[in-house]
Chain A
Amino acid sequence: MTWVVWRQHRQQAIVAAAAFGAIALFLGITGPAMSHTFHVSGLAACVAQHVDCGPLLDSFDVKYNAYQFLVPLFLILPALVGIFWGAPLIAREFEQGTFRFAWTQSVSRRRWATTKIAAIAAGTIVLGVAAATMLTWWSAPLVLSHTDKFVPGIFDLLGIVPIAYALFAVALGIAFGALLGRVLPAMGATAAGFVVVRFFMTIVVRKHYLSPMRAVSSGPFGFNDAAPRGAWVLTQNTIDKAGSIVSPGGGLDFQYLSSHCPGLPAPGSGAPGSARAVPVLGKDLVFQCTAKLGLRTSSTFQPLNRFWTFQWMEFAIYVVLAAALLGFAIWRVRSWSR
């Protein structure tokens, strides 16, 4: 059966290998140069000291801005594996009627389905590990210089989760193929399903993996963050001495300030909370006021040291989803009767 799977899907494997080769070539050429600049310029050392690296960072950013823009493109790679490897795997057999040929040789449907699925899953894992390793290495300077590896979108590119995304995408493609029995609808459903699940998990579910931590900024308002460096900030509010929220989402509500500090004029031309008031107010007056009111920033966040815990949890969730989808596909093949 292994030969059969290889013969049937070698074209897809070759195309994927070529595409991967092209990406690897690009990363291999640009990565060392970027890493070199990162270290030689002193930015690496600066970042390691957790201080503000202003000009160094600016010059690095100017040089490699274009690459920052490339990063989100890598997020769709797993979907492509699902669409072009997963969806046709079983759907094409149904669409072209070849399942009637394949299932009437001496291989049981169960063995047929499991061998095909195991081969494609193994290919996906190999490709996923290679791509994830390369991407993590390549993007390290970009990520380190901004210490934002926990942020949704960057988290999704690093570590082990890309492997799980690819596995999930390919399982979703196989399951939709087995359900719909036609290649193009299965491809479309795979693309849509992948995007929906990834968005939902990233935006809604991920922050609840562990209950978030809370912190209130220590110094006077505006001089330090509530959340520690590198943390994934979930919510941020400005609170008063009593702890009640005076400005949801953080920042300052000038309507509130002017009503509590008589020295401050009411904001602008009467529009409540208008930010246009800022330039006309003296900076010092504002800080005197925030100090008097005891305003602080309160945050909920996931600290950076939970990064790997979250990676493993997300990895496990997607692998379990993939396993369930593959189980469904095998069941579907075994019970197919029409």
Chain B
Amino acid sequence: MNALEASALSKKYRNQWALQDCSFSLSAGRIAAFVGPNGAGKTTLLHIAVGLLHATSGSLHVLGGEPAADEEMLSRVGFVAQDTPLYRNFTGEDLIAFAAHTNRTFDTDFTRDRLRSLDVPLDRKASTLSGGQRAQVALALALGKRPELLLLDEPLASLDPLARREFLGALMEGVAEGEVTVVLSSHLITDLERVCDHLLILSNGRLQLAGDIEDLVDDHRVLVGPRSTGAKRRAIAGVESVVEETVIGRQATLVVRVDGPIVDPKWEEYEVSLEDLVLAYLGRKQHGAGADEPVRAISAGRAL
């Protein structure tokens, strides 16, 4: 069973498409990242998955059913919204009681122990907690539901680097046992690289790339070679498509998807880093504007 399965999923706000024709499937047990700039449609997609929004057309199936179809389905999905909205005048204990009263099964002891071990004061109101502590409370409440699928919308956005690391540590620890599928959205890949095994890149409401991170890194290369060759756009043997091309002086640097070995001696071949891969796909839309496009150095990985 797939945790998420989208087919031609589209969402339109008034006259603007937030999501267009997104099709993908995410099998259960993965830890997946939706990556894209702000406004790419990540929040829209997650909100459709938890039933806060209704799709304009297409479909999204969650754990084999309609999103938030009934209370049974609601109980199987945990969600932490962006900026972790919590009742401001509720203490940690109040929030735990809230979750216990509004969920069929809620592991109160687990949630309380978790937050205590993270040194989050449970007797203080949510409005007086730090951003990192609020995020931990929201995560603990979502985990306490014992969901099959956990969706986190930009959980790291408002956290400082240390809090990010703690949050991701807590997340990994929280989902270590059990078969929880986790989906995070982020506009940055940096922190997610260590925890995610599946990547979906969204830009301008469209899905640019989806796949297991290992496969994606395997299928892409950075090629460095003479500019003329790049400019004449002659096909390079072994290259399926050029994702991004950057020219510095006489040298061209390409991020390419490969479908065979690169044999042309004019090109030096390097591994691509995940960050460069993401940026290459996100930059693709604006690409081809001309010679005065901003030059971004692609850090070549280990030579092959």
Contacts and interface: CB of A to CB of B under 8 A. Distances in A.
Contact of A3 (B71, B87, B97): B97
B87 A98 contact: yes
A337 interface: yes
Given A4-B98, A4-B102, A7-B90, A97 B79 contact: no
A104 B74 contact: yes
B86 interface: yes
Interface residues of A, number: 21
A324 interface: no
A4 B53 CA distance: 24
Given A104-B77, A106-B74, A337-B53, A3 B85 contact: no
Contact of A338 (B13, B104, B138): B13
Contacts of B47: 100
B103 A104 contact: no
B85 A100 contact: yes
A136 interface: no
Contacts of A103: 51-52, 68
B101 A106 contact: no
Contacts, number: 71
Contacts of B103: 105-107
Contacts of B81: 97, 100-101, 104
B83 A104 contact: no
A68 interface: no
B70 interface: yes
A4 B101 contact: yes
A293 to B, nearest CB: 72
Given A8-B87, A106-B145, A100 B52 contact: yes
A11 B94 CA distance: 14
A102 interface: yes
A185 to B, nearest CB: 20
B71 A106 contact: yes
A106 B99 CA distance: 9
Contacts of A101: 81, 85-87, 138
Interface residues of B, number: 33
A249 B19 CA distance: 68
A3 B101 contact: yes
A108 B68 CA distance: 8
Contacts of A41: none
B75 interface: yes
Contacts of B101: 1, 3-4
A97 B94 CA distance: 18
Contacts of B102: 1, 4, 102, 105-107
Interface in B60-90: 68, 70-71, 74-75, 77-79, 81, 83, 85-90
B13 A96 contact: no
Contacts of B85: 96-98, 100-101
B45 interface: no
A3 B99 CA distance: 11
Contacts of A338: 13, 53
Contacts of A98: 85-87
Interface in A261-300: none
Nearest to A104: B79
Contacts of B68: 103-104
A103 B88 CA distance: 17
Contacts of B143: none
B26 interface: no
A98 B99 CA distance: 13
A104 B86 CA distance: 12
Contacts of B90: 7
Given A4-B98, A98-B86, A106 B104 contact: yes
A107 B74 contact: yes
A337 B52 contact: yes
B54 interface: yes
16 contacts: A1-B102, A3-B101, A8-B87, A96-B88, A97-B83, A100-B52, A101-B86, A103-B51, A104-B77, A104-B78, A105-B74, A106-B74, A106-B102, A106-B145, A107-B74, A107-B102
Interface of A: 1, 3-4, 7-8, 11, 96-98, 100-108, 111, 337-338
The 8 closest A-B pairs by CB, nearest first: A97-B85, A105-B102, A106-B75, A100-B81, A104-B79, A106-B103, A106-B74, A337-B54
Interface of B: 13, 47, 50-54, 68, 70-71, 74-75, 77-79, 81, 83, 85-90, 94, 97-99, 101-104, 138, 145
